[in-house]
Amino acid sequence: MAEIETKVKKETMNGAKVLLECLRNEGVDEIFGYPGGVLLGIYEELFHCDFIKHYLVRHEQAAIHAAEGYARATGKAGVAIVTSGPGATNAITGIANAYYDGYPLVILTGQVAVTQIGNDAFQEADIVGITRPCCKHNYLLKDIKKLPQVIKHAFHIATTGKPGPVVIDLPKDVIGNKTELKFPDKIELPGYNPNYVGHPRQCEKALELLCRARRPVIISGGGVIPTEGYNELTELANKMGIPVTNTLMGIGTFPADNPLSLGMMGMHGNFWANLAVSNCDVLFAVGTRFNDRITGNVKKFARDAKIIHVDVDPCSIGKNVRVDIPIVGDSKNVLRSMLDMYDASQPNIYPDDKIAWIKQIDEWKQKRAMPVTNTDKLHPQNVIEKIYEMTKDKDAIIATEVGQHQMWTAQLYKFNKPRRLITSGGLGTMGFGFPASMGAQVGQKDRLVFNIAGDGSIQMNIQELATCVDYNLPVKIAIINNGYLGMVRQWQEKMFDKHYSHTKISSPDFVKLAESYGIKGIRVTKEEELEGAIQEAINHPGPVVMDFIVEPFEMVYPWVLAGKPINQVLLSNECKCED
């Protein structure tokens, strides 16, 4: 058992009240949730609580996604509460999403009484067993006296090392018990000691290798965001003149308008970014898992490069690709150490080669993917480009669902800061973006928040329009409506002889649906209507649903087919570029 020094606040109260006081002690003032029978004691205390605002969602999955959107937008741990049984199982997708992408959540799940656990009681589910593979840690609370300690542990685990979700299962009878409130001052968790400082010699070796590189490239991943290493990464890249590419989750960690930016790499990444990684001699990867969407055929990934890999999670290093110089540590600390070691007055060892390398990449940049069709219908790329044009100076937060629109947003919207793109990476969760945008809006109340969605994915959690109305969350929802599950249809077109098996979908009249909830609805079918519609949505003080009717058979390019190396890129149906 962990040893914890405590200061005593001599007051006896029930477990539900202790829970809320512990949350307040952790700085929590907003939570997302959905009540149920075993949670009635907690909701009774919430009724009297004036220091925590509860946002009632319409589905438990949305509560978790909203909490994650809040965490992504603010950097704080998001908190959600759901009831036992189906309430808790409905939350699993959200928990798994946060786990794969590495964002801090504390999820409170109701549970039947301790005496009923294992007896197939009404709305009982083994949430500890179910979440074990998809959360960072979980607890089944059986002693109310341990609740303050468990809450303290949960927030510490969720927000340190590689962040992630922590689940606390709260039996009904335990929460009803009374105890004396004792806030832990100090926490010790034997066996859990994340390493934040990279080994000095490893940092030195990495810097030496970068200085001697002729064709270096930096990959900046999503792990740079929670460790806040983006300023140091930008400084190092600028000082050493090294081009930087981002993973999908790392978008915003390096300014898109920096001349050294290569944009996103990977399956639907920029052609030149993929070629740069494939032809580099030193690859400096910071905060990335090296998943299959960025490596392609892993046996042919960066074959001639020496690879430096920095990550706070030691399990991520060497898991998917070979690594020559592993550095376990916080990206900010590791990059700062390397900057302190770097002598800017020391000449580059191969300056001419580095100049030629940048020139070669600039030549690759001239090759661009083109729209598939030339019809008079509205192109989805043009919609997203217009949203970018009209929001780029507003420091907007852009959330997406998953699919074609997600990839077009990643390609076309130029993010210069972190925490501006909120999207599902590792799990690829349809239905994520809308509730996540709500959470982001709660966390950043004065910011403009857009959710760019597909007509398929928006229907996964469209019931949350009611939540937006209840709390006047002015999220602007842009539906790229092509009448298909677009990304799946794209694969069917290319690899299954255009057999569009169950990918053509029907949708409600989104404008009428929005209006039925009391939300402003706008439909756009022509290019000349874009600017006026988007401006109208921005000016409107409440939530808005925009239904953009677009070309149904547009394809996302560039495209690296599954199993191919990332330097074999399709730029259109007819054009294949290979280095």
| 558 cis-preceded (ω within 30 degrees of 0) | yes
The string over 423-462, giving b where at least 16 C-beta atoms fall within 10 Å of a residue's C-beta and e elsewhere, is bbbbbbbbbbbbbbbbbbbbbbeeebbbbbbbbbbbbbbb
The phi, psi pair for 398, rounded to 5°, reads -115, 115
Nearest C-alpha neighbor of 110 from the set 130, 132, 92, 125: 125
DSSP 187-244: ---TT-----S--HHHHHHHHHHHHT-SSEEEEE-GGGTTTT-HHHHHHHHHHHT--E
380-549 CATH, one of 2.60.40.10, 3.40.50.970, 3.40.50.2300, 3.90.1150.10 = 3.40.50.970
Reduced DSSP (H G I as helix, E B as strand, rest coil) percent helix, strand, coil of the chain, to 5: 40, 20, 40
CA 52 – CA 439 distance, rounded (Å)? 15
Q: Give pLDDT, residue 1.
A: 38
Spatial distance between the Cα atoms of 67 and 73, rounded to a whole number of angstroms? 10
Residue 269 structure tokens: 């990444």
pLDDT given for residue 377 in this prediction: 87
Long-range contacts of 226-229, Cβ-Cβ distance < 8 Å, separation of 24 or more: 226/75, 226/102, 226/103, 226/104, 226/162, 226/163, 227/287, 227/312, 227/330, 227/331, 227/332, 227/333, 228/75, 228/332, 229/253, 229/286, 229/287, 229/330, 229/331, 229/332, 229/333, 229/334, 229/335
Output the tens digit of pLDDT for each of the chain's 579 residues. 344 444 544 678 999 999 999 999 999 999 999 999 999 999 999 999 999 999 999 999 999 999 999 999 999 999 999 999 999 999 999 999 999 999 999 999 999 999 999 999 999 999 999 999 999 999 999 999 999 999 999 999 999 999 999 999 999 999 999 999 989 888 889 889 999 999 999 999 999 999 999 999 999 999 999 999 999 999 999 999 999 999 999 999 999 999 999 999 999 999 999 999 999 999 999 999 999 999 999 999 999 999 999 999 999 999 999 999 999 999 999 999 999 999 765 667 788 898 999 999 999 998 776 655 566 889 999 999 999 999 999 999 999 999 999 999 999 999 999 999 999 999 999 999 999 999 999 999 999 999 999 999 999 999 999 999 999 999 999 999 999 999 999 999 999 999 999 999 999 999 999 999 999 999 999 999 999 999 999 999 999 999 999 999 999 999 999 999 999 999 987 666 666
CATH number of 200-364: 3.40.50.1220
CATH topology of domain 6-184: Rossmann fold (3.40.50)
Torsion of CA 418, 286, 223, 557, to 10 degrees: 70
Length of the chain (residues): 579
> Residue 402's closest CA among 439, 427, 367, 380?
427
Q: Which amino acid is at 105?
A: L
Instruction: Give which of 174, 181, 185 is closest to 11, Cα–Cα.
Output: 181
Which tokens in the block code for residue 464?
Answer: 């949350």
Rounded to whole angstroms, the Cα distance separating 249 from 223 reads 8
Instruction: Say which residues have a Cβ less than 8 Å from residue 169's Cβ, sequence separation at least 6.
Output: 88, 109, 111, 127, 128, 138, 139, 140, 141
Which tokens sit at 505? 């979908």
Q: Which residue has the tokens 């929005």?
A: 514
Instruction: Calculate Rg over the CA atoms of the chain.
Output: 25
Residues 195, 328 contacting (CB under 8 angstroms): yes
Interhelix angle for 60-74 vs 92-101, to 10°?
A: 20
Cα distances (angstroms) measured from residue 493 to each of 116, 505, 570: 52, 16, 14
Tell me where in the chain the CATH 3.40.50.1220 domain(s) lie: 200-364
Domain with CATH 3.40.50.970 in the chain: 6-184, 380-549
Distance CA(571)–CA(101), nearest Å, equals 28
CB 19 within 8 A of CB 175: yes
Catalytic residues: 60, 122-123, 172, 487
- pLDDT confidence of residue 493: 95
Helices (H) and strands (E) in the chain, counts: 21, 22
Q: Hey, what are 360's tokens?
A: 């070669």
Tokens 């929460």 identify what position?
A: 175
Between CA 170 and CA 43 the distance in angstroms is 13
